[in-house]
């Protein structure tokens, strides 16, 4: 049963999940890690570039549409985009990896009630997972209802339901983080019991 993120009376953020949801969240996090895993440094790479996390050589956008959405070009000009990517892509990949690893660690050390210590990591992972899944199923505002009505035997159906659930989780987390900033009152934030 999904409850989403909740705040306790003392202001802590928690997520109540059952075993299936725990497993699904860990699987999603690990799949995001697989997508954003930084490339191994080449033995020929300049040592200073490797130490600074720069990519040596020509770097282009990924052929995988999901990775391309997770790590988009920063500039329209291809040369500027490549140069920017060369200096920033590894750091961005590592940041996304760290978000996913933090979420996995928090789930692994918790039971049915996950104590969330890094809302930024959870928000980052949920965003990255939704981007990747949304790209895979080609979701848009125009076809959301169509995808919601897919028959169960359509391969996109399961992914759509995961996408929709992650959207619910993301919205519930945002409500807990700063309700007023997003136009909610404190009454809109579910309260969890302290243990």
Q: Average pLDDT in the 47-53 region? A: 57
Q: How confident is the model at residue 3 (pLDDT cuts 50, 70, 90)?
A: confident
What is the domain extent for residue 86?
5-192
Q: What is the pLDDT of residue 176?
A: 87
170 and 141 Cβ atoms separated by less than 8 Å: no
Q: Average pLDDT in the 9-26 region? A: 92
Q: Average pLDDT in the 147-155 region? A: 90
Percentage of residues in the chain having pLDDT higher than 90: 52
d(CA 36, CA 154): 27
Say if residue 46's pLDDT is above 80: no
The pTM score is 0.84
Q: What is the pLDDT of residue 90?
A: 87
Say if residue 184's pLDDT is above 80: no
Say if residue 94's pLDDT is above 60: yes
21 and 120 Cβ atoms separated by less than 8 Å: no
Say if residue 1's pLDDT is above 70: no
Tell me the two tokens of residue 75.
């500039």
DSSP string, 122-157: HHHHHHHHHHHHHHHHT--TTTHHHHHT--TTSHHH
Q: What angle do CA 6, 176, 99 make, to 5 degrees?
A: 95
Q: What is the pLDDT of residue 39?
A: 67
Contacts of 152 (CB under 8 A, 6+ apart): none
Number of Cβ within 10 Å of residue 117's Cβ equals 13
Phi-psi region of 140 (alpha: psi -120 to 50; beta: other; left: phi over 0): beta
Q: What is the pLDDT of residue 81?
A: 85
- For 74-87, the pLDDT digits (tens) are 899 988 988 888 88
Q: What is the pLDDT of residue 8?
A: 86
Q: What is the pLDDT of residue 111?
A: 85
CA distances to 14, 172, 188 from 182, rounded to whole Å, are: 19, 11, 11
């Amino acid at each position: 049963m999904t409850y989403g993120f909740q705040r306790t009376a003392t202001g802590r953020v928690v997520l109540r999940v059952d075993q299936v949801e725990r497993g699904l969240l860990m699987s999603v996090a690990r799949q995001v890690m697989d997508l954003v895993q930084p490339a191994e440094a080449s033995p020929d790479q300049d040592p200073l570039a490797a130490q600074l996390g720069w990519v040596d050589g020509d770097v282009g956008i990924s052929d995988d549409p999901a990775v391309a959405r997770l790590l988009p070009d920063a500039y329209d000009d291809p040369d500027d985009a490549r140069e920017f990517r060369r200096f920033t892509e590894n750091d961005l990949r590592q940041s996304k990896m760290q978000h996913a690893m933090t979420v996995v660690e928090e789930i692994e050390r918790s039971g049915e009630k996950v104590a969330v210590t890094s809302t930024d990591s959870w928000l980052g992972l949920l965003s990255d997972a939704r981007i990747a899944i949304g790209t895979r199923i080609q979701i848009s505002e125009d076809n959301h209802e169509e995808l919601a009505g897919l028959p169960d035997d359509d391969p996109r159906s399961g992914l759509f339901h995961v996408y929709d659930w992650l959207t619910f989780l993301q919205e519930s987390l945002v409500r807990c983080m700063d309700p007023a900033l997003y136009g909610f009152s404190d009454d809109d934030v579910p309260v969890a019991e302290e243990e």
